[in-house]
Amino acid sequence: MGETMIQVKDLRVNFRAWAGTVQAVRGVNFELKKGETLAIVGESGSGKSVTTKAILGILPSNARITSGEILYNGKDLTKLKEKEFYDIRGKHISLVFQDPLSALNPIQKVGKQICEALKKNEHMSNGEAKKRAIALMEDVGIPEPETKFSQYPFQFSGGMRQRIVIAIALACNPEILICDEPTTALDVTIQSRILDKIKELKAEHDLSVIFITHDLGVVAGIADRVCVMYAGKIVEYGTVDDIFYEPAHPYTWALLSSMPDLDTKEKLFSIPGAPPNMMYPPKGDAFAPRNRYAMEIDFEQEPPFFKVSDTHYAATWLLHPKAPKVELPEVLKHRIQRMKEEREGA
C-alpha cells in the first residue's frame, strides 16, 4: 500500500435549500491509498454520499463546494469543469449505486447499457463492445450472459441488477471504485454474495475502493481502513482493527453497541436523540447532545484530532490528557471480547 490515489482536504459542501443553507459536509479530510478499501461509515445524512458525489462531480445543482480540495493525479477535482470530468468518470473513477432497482435505465437492454460505457471511453466497435460486455457479465457472475445481454432490467432480480451495475462500473478498467451502500437495497443472502464479488473483483482488477455504508457488519468484512462520519465531519479514523477493537470516540462506541450480533441477549442499544439539523450545526462537538460522556467543553469548543496510535485518530475531548478517564461501556467490552474470540476461533 503505497501511493495516494485520492486525497480529500478540508472539503466543505453546502446545499442551498428553500429554508436556508444546509452544511452537509463540514471539512472532511481523508486519503485513499492504492489497493486499499476505505470504508466511510455513518448514519443517514452524515454526508457520506455527498462526499463521494463531490469526487465524481455529480453533486446536484443546488450544491456548492465552498472550500477544500480533492486531489487526484495532481489535479484538483473540485476545480474541474463538467467537460473535463467526461474523461475521468467511468474511465478512472466509477461508482456503484445504492439502489440497483432504479440505477438502470428501465427501457434499455442491459447489454446496451454496458456497451455504452465501452464505446464512449474505449472507442470500441459494436462487436468488440458486445464481446467485452459478455465477458464482464460472466465476470460479475451472471449466468447465461449471451441471453441476458439482450434482456431488459425488469427481467432481472435485484442482486442480478446490482451485478450489472458493477459490470458497468468496471467496464473501462477504472483505478478507483466508489461503492455507495451497494448492498443496502438487497436482502442479506444476496448481500454477502455481492460483497464477496466486490472483494474478488477488487483483487482481480487491482482496484482502490471507497466503500460507503452505515452497516458496521459489512465494514468488518471488507475494509482495510475506516472513517467514521458524523454530521458532516469525520470523527474517528483508523484501521479496521483500531475501530472495532479499540474504538475511541463515543459515537463509534454508540454505533458498535447498537449493532446486533448472534450473542446479543440484552436489549439492543440505540443512540438517543436525532442527528442535528445541518442548517444550524451546533457549536462544539456535534455529537455532544446525544453523548452520555459529554463534558462541558464539548458544548463549547470543537475537539481536534487526538492521536491514539500511528494509524488511529479520534476527535473527542475524552482523549485530552486532562480529561477524566472513561471506561468503555460494559456491553461494548463484552462485544469486543466476543469479536476477538470469534476471530481467533476462525
Binding site for another protein (CB under 8 A): 56, 58, 60, 82-83, 86-91, 94-95, 97, 99, 102-108, 116-117, 120-121, 151-152, 154-156, 165, 168-169, 171-172
C-alpha cell at 60: 446536484
C-alpha cell at 250: 463515543
Q: Which is nearer to another protein, 65 or 168 (CB)?
A: 168
Nearest approach, Cβ of 13 to another protein (angstroms)?
A: 16
CA distance 28 to 322: 27
Name the pairing type of β-strands 176-180 and 93-96: parallel
Nearest approach, Cβ of 311 to another protein (angstroms)?
A: 31
Half-sphere exposure of 151 (CA within 13 A, CB side): 17
Nearest approach, Cβ of 49 to another protein (angstroms)?
A: 11
Q: Which is nearer to another protein, 12 or 53 (CB)?
A: 53
Q: Which is nearer to another protein, 12 or 148 (CB)?
A: 148
Strands (E), 248-343: 306-309, 312-314
Angle at CA of residue 279, ends 276 and 280, nearest 5°: 65
Angle at CA of residue 164, ends 159 and 165, nearest 5°: 95
The answer to whether 167 and 134 are in contact (CB under 8 A) is no
Neighbours of 272 (CB within 10 A): 10
Q: Which is nearer to another protein, 194 or 219 (CB)?
A: 194
Neighbours of 200 (CB within 10 A): 13
CA distance 314 to 305: 5
The answer to whether 314 and 236 are in contact (CB under 8 A) is yes
Q: Which is nearer to another protein, 105 or 258 (CB)?
A: 105
Nearest approach, Cβ of 158 to another protein (angstroms)?
A: 14
Name the pairing type of β-strands 20-33 and 233-239: unpaired
Q: Which is nearer to another protein, 101 or 328 (CB)?
A: 101
In the block, which residue shows the cell 455513518?
A: 42
Nearest approach, Cβ of 21 to another protein (angstroms)?
A: 17
Q: Which is nearer to another protein, 81 or 267 (CB)?
A: 81
Nearest approach, Cβ of 147 to another protein (angstroms)?
A: 10
Nearest approach, Cβ of 114 to another protein (angstroms)?
A: 9
